[in-house]
Amino acid sequence: MDKNQLIFRINRAVRAIEATSGLGELDISARSILSFIGEAEAEQRTLNVSDVVKGPGFGTAPTVYSRLSVLEKAGWIKYAPDPRDGRAKQVQLTPLARRTYAKMSSEAQKLVAAKRD
């Protein structure tokens, strides 16, 4: 299997997990915001709502707040008080989101390992 085949297989596995987890029902903007939050957590960084609003091209503040609301209602994110600033709220992935991303990562690792064999 060459690198292009590997990429397509990983994409196929990710899309299948998105479809079965409900992640595929979110629009591309909401998925991008969720990914942004997940990447920050993977790097052990904490994001506040304002960090997400200022994020890379997610749209206007009302659009981002709307997407965050959709993600919270769907069970993908939760808010927590910021211990450094009582007025701010941190945005965190829920266990559902963490399990879904872990499953995607596991499937990708299996495909990469299979390519090496």
The per-residue pLDDT for 13 is: 84
| Predicted structure pTM score | 0.82
Give tens-digit pLDDT for 33-90: 999 999 999 999 999 999 999 988 899 999 999 999 999 999 999 999 999 888 999 9
Locate the DSSP E strands across 1-117. Answer: 47-48, 77-82, 85-93
The answer to whether residue 92 scores a pLDDT higher than 80 is yes
Which contacts (CB < 8 Å, 24+ apart) does range 89-95 have? 89/48, 89/49, 90/46, 90/47, 90/48, 90/49, 91/37, 91/47, 91/48, 91/49, 91/51, 91/52, 92/37, 92/41, 92/46, 93/34, 93/37, 93/38, 93/41
Q: Which of 1-5, 14-18, 23-27, 83-87 has the lowest mean pLDDT?
A: 1-5
Give me the pLDDT at residue 1, please. Answer: 64
- Alpha-carbon distance of 14 to 26, in angstroms, equals 14
Statement: residue 107 has pLDDT above 80: yes
Q: What's the mean pLDDT when you consider all of the chain?
A: 89
| Cα–Cα separations (whole angstroms), residue 96 to 20, 38, 56, 57, 69 | 12, 12, 24, 25, 16
